[in-house]
Structure 1
Amino acid sequence: MLEIFPAIDLKEGKAVRLFQGEMASAKIYGEASEFAKKFEDLGAKWVHIVDLDGAFCGKPKNLAVIENIAKTCQLKIQLGGGIRDEDTIKTYTDMGIDRLILGSVAMKNPAFVKEMAKKYKIAVGIDSKNGKVAVDGWAKTGEIKDLELAEMFQNSDIDAIICTDISRDGALSGINVEWTLQMAKHSGCFCIASGGFKDKNDLYALEQGLKDNAMCGGVIIGKAYYEGQVDLGWVLKRFV
């Protein structure tokens, strides 16, 4: 099974896309709520939202926009960016957010993430740069290796791991299928591929890789949709 997650990256309330996580590269595409509605109309079940401003400053910065999306569409929402404590998790859960992504704090305090996963629907975001985990809006790279961090969440209660290959993010260069499968094997978790999605060939390759390994997973579709490189309606009919 391959789940599809069309993406909305939020910067100052607008839907944008970055290149390799650089805020200065942000290209504005329009109102986030309008894209959420488009995804719903096309048949999506999920929307993947990242509060980019929140990721960089470590606390929520686009609450009003996120709450509006939660109220005005029926999509399940997977949300990350600046979620570092239980109060923020509870705020978003009370808002109706279905799954919350913990990234920086997962590297810094994996025990906290495991504890939160017992109470809330939690995904771990593992963002990799040259095999090392990047944190704080990808502004810093730690010493821990991506596969080592994935292994820490074996047999935990987390819902998923979202694995982003930063070198491919926003580059339309194709997702890193083999690395995504390695992350799934090391964690034993449902893994969602992120970074570089280009076209339907990525979908076929990931689908086949998951099938060969008797695993389920997902993929995040961002820039390829916004730049008109992929027919999201066809993708959702084929895979959802």
Structure 2
Amino acid sequence: MDTDANGGDGGLEEFEVIPAVDVQDGEVVQLVQGERGTEKTYGDPVEAARRWIDAGAETLHLVDLDGAFEGERENADAIDAMIDAVDVPTQLGGGIRTAEGAVDLLERGVDRVILGTAAVEDPEIVAEISEAHPDSVVVSLDAKDGEVVVEGWTEGAGISPVEAAERYADLGAAAILFTNVDVEGQLEGVATEPVRELVEATDIPVIASGGVATLADVRALADAGATAVVVGSALYEGNFTLEAAQNAAESVE
């Protein structure tokens, strides 16, 4: 996402539905609750990115899943190919562990970097990157059983999402990406209360992710106050179209 997508208060002007392009071993995949071995593949990343743009996507959510697990960007070539192939803003996460690495990606053409483990281990990295590139850092708060988890959702960080969101807002984060791991990838619906709590706890935008299966889920997250939702499996499985999801969100008063 670039600054043109933001209103004067730093939030998105309107609710946005953002397709996810998660890459593992060079292919688009979706995992169930973030666990390796549960993946279902959906083909070439560039083809997927172009498909969502043709469908009307205004932003793409890119994730190097191998990077998230291993701590190094394992799918850099595939990510670079997508960045070169699309003309919409991108936000990228997975394996970004240093300020230098984040800045390199921003200068390479990524609009926003998503920091998870790096931000938990060294919160000041958010301020360092944001000072040089304002409005460029999205902090990923992935929660399992009410606790922030890191290292590819395998380790607890000992902090609640609300406590973490308050910390990163003060450090200059542009947005919070909240993924509810308890419902992620299961296509069984969303849990709105954790999203609502985050929205009420921080003044920066909250992007929701995890569990979206129906248009009602999209509407529920918009009603909970999220400024955007990242959708993966439901779009790839054809539960609904991107256009229908955006229309559903816009119907929320």
Work out whether the TM-score is over 0.5: yes
Contact 2:147 2:156 in 1 (8 A): yes
| C-alpha distance in structure 2 between counterparts of 1:39 and 1:237, whole Å | 16
- Structure 1 position 42 matched with structure 2 position 55: yes
Secondary structure of the equivalent of 1:106?
helix
| C-alpha distance in structure 2 between counterparts of 1:83 and 1:236, whole Å | 30
Contact 1:175 1:193 in 2 (8 A): no
Q: CA deviation at 1:187?
A: 2.4
- Structure 1 position 83 matched with structure 2 position 96: yes
| C-alpha distance in structure 2 between counterparts of 1:155 and 1:138, whole Å | 24
* Structure 1 range deviating more: 186-195 or 225-234: 225-234
**TM-score scaled by length of structure 2:** 0.88
Q: Which of 199, 211, 232 lines up with 1:222 in the alignment?
A: 232
Structure showing the higher strand proportion among its residues:
1
Q: CA deviation at 1:198?
A: 1.1
Opposite residue 109 of structure 1, the aligned amino acid is D
Misfit runs of 4+, over 3 Å: 236-240
Q: CA deviation at 1:48?
A: 0.4
Q: How does 1:46-61 map to 2 (within 5 A)?
A: 46-61=59-74
Q: CA deviation at 1:96?
A: 0.4
| C-alpha distance in structure 2 between counterparts of 1:87 and 1:154, whole Å | 21
* Structure 1 range deviating more: 8-17 or 185-194: 185-194
Match of 2:202 in 1: 187
- Gaps of at least 5 residues in structure 2 are 1-13
Secondary structure of the equivalent of 1:167?
coil
| C-alpha distance in structure 1 between counterparts of 2:116 and 2:127, whole Å | 12
Q: CA deviation at 1:159?
A: 1.3
Opposite residue 68 of structure 1, the aligned amino acid is A
Match of 1:173 in 2: 188
- Structure 1 position 196 matched with structure 2 position 211: yes
Opposite residue 41 of structure 2, the aligned amino acid is I
Secondary structure of the equivalent of 2:157?
strand
Secondary structure of the equivalent of 1:127?
strand
Match of 2:5 in 1: none
Contact 1:79 1:99 in 2 (8 A): yes
- Per-residue CA deviations over 1:95-142 (Å, capped at 9, x if unaligned) read 200110000112111122122122230000000011111101112112
Q: CA deviation at 1:91?
A: 2.1
Opposite residue 129 of structure 1, the aligned amino acid is K
Q: CA deviation at 1:207?
A: 2.2
Secondary structure of the equivalent of 2:230?
strand
Opposite residue 121 of structure 2, the aligned amino acid is K
- Gaps of at least 5 residues in structure 1 are 211-215
Contact 1:43 1:236 in 2 (8 A): no
Q: CA deviation at 1:43?
A: 1.0
RMSD: 1.5
- Structure 1 position 105 matched with structure 2 position 138: no
Contact 2:17 2:242 in 1 (8 A): no
**TM-score scaled by length of structure 1:** 0.93
Q: CA deviation at 1:236?
A: 3.9
- Per-residue CA deviations over 1:128-164 (Å, capped at 9, x if unaligned) read 0111111011121121222211111234421110001
- Structure 1 position 124 matched with structure 2 position 134: no
| C-alpha distance in structure 2 between counterparts of 1:207 and 1:237, whole Å | 11
- Per-residue CA deviations over 1:34-57 (Å, capped at 9, x if unaligned) read 010011111111010110000111
Aligned residues: 235
| C-alpha distance in structure 2 between counterparts of 1:226 and 1:88, whole Å | 30
Contact 1:42 1:236 in 2 (8 A): no
The 1:51/1:18 distance shift into structure 2, 3 A limit, reads same
- Structure 1 position 32 matched with structure 2 position 75: no
